Amino acid sequence: METSERRCGMHGEHHGEYKVPGGKLIVVDTGVEDSRLSGLQISGDFFLEPDEALGRITSCLEGVPVESSATEMAARVRAALLPTDVPFGITPEGVGIAVRRALGRAVDWDDIDFDVIHGPVVDPMVNVAMDETLVAEVAAGRRRPFMRLWEWNAPQVVIGSFQSYDNEVNQAGVDRYGITVSRRVTGGGAMFMEPGNCVTYSLVIPQALVDGLSFAQSYPMLDQWVMEALAEVGVSAHYVPLNDIASTAGKIGGAAQKRFGNGYMVHHVTMSYDIDAEKMLEVLRIGKEKVRDKGHRSAVKRVDPMRSQTGMSRSAILDVFYRHFKEKYGATDGSITDEDLAVAEERCRTKFSTEEWTHRLP
């Protein structure tokens, strides 16, 4: 697909668009002269009073270095607005992102050729490792950005990168059930994963997709597609800042991110399908309040928000997620190769299965 940098607008060499979440479309056309914005025009279906406010916004960005960040541009726009100005559907951050997209420094979903992958069924620690190894493959150009639905063949507790092992894991329960504990590269909370008990996916994308967005803004933006897919299976879901996904019945799941120095990132989500809450309480150091937070108002034997709210099998829900992402973003069917698995298994051996990594925060 074409990037924003290569598109030519009617009034400038570079054309970019950004739809403000819950707002309107901002369109930027601009030229570049001596590495600075030249002949900038801002348009769109937003509302702005008085009319001259648009001129002030445009003037404050004319001549700005093209390497300026979206945050720096937003600060200029914010300074140009008067207390009496009334913008509706347009934000300083949105203008900055639209300019960055025009210059090719930021991208939209439509600029990315995605793969969509389901599985394969692997040791859960291999899934954790692939959240690191596959990012490197995408960054090197050997694989396209993708959304991958996880499958796994054994129980495991996966703790967040910055969690204390002893504070999160009940070793006696882990030993009793023969459960492996691994530490992932992203932050967030502990996950109790048995085959078929939850829905997990990873999204590997260029960081340019979230250019100009705060961490808090990036979470719901990256998961808008899954909110639509959840609605399709009968779950009315919404984001609870920072990174929780909930419905009227309580929490469904949570998201986490890791941004790498190579310009790419992994964003993943785990949602409860049908979890054995009694066993979870034996292997995790988790109180009743957190059990309620995971989807129920009282302590029960199972935490099953997706199963109980949809009445669908897990495989049927995964089919909807796969199809929805593929159709929404024009994604291509992809797969994990034997070489991908070999690299991930080696990373497990050298990092993810080591005591040094798993217990790096005792």
Q: What is the CATH number of the domain that holds 319?
A: 3.30.930.10
93 lies in the same domain as 181: no
Contact 171, 114 (CB under 8 A): no
178 lies in the same domain as 297: yes
Q: Which of 106, 132, 165 is the last residue of a domain?
A: 106
101 lies in the same domain as 117: no
Closest by Cα among 20, 3, 8, 7 to 212: 20
pLDDT at 300: 55
145 lies in the same domain as 257: yes
102 lies in the same domain as 122: no
77 lies in the same domain as 199: no
Structural domain harbouring 41: 4-106
Q: What is the pTM of this model?
A: 0.86
97 lies in the same domain as 191: no
pLDDT at 250: 87
The count of structural domains within the chain is: 2
Would you state the structure tokens that stand for residue 186, as one six-digit string?
A: 């992203």
- pLDDT by position in tens, the chain (length 362): 334 444 444 446 899 999 998 899 999 999 999 999 999 999 999 999 999 999 999 999 999 999 999 999 999 999 999 999 999 999 999 999 999 999 999 999 999 999 999 999 999 999 999 999 999 999 999 999 999 999 999 999 999 999 999 999 999 999 999 999 999 999 999 999 999 999 999 999 999 999 999 999 999 999 999 999 999 999 999 999 999 999 988 899 999 999 999 999 999 999 999 999 999 999 999 754 555 554 444 445 678 889 999 999 999 999 999 999 999 999 999 999 999 999 999 999 999 999 999 999 99
Q: Which of 49, 83, 106 is the last residue of a domain?
A: 106
Residues in the chain: 362
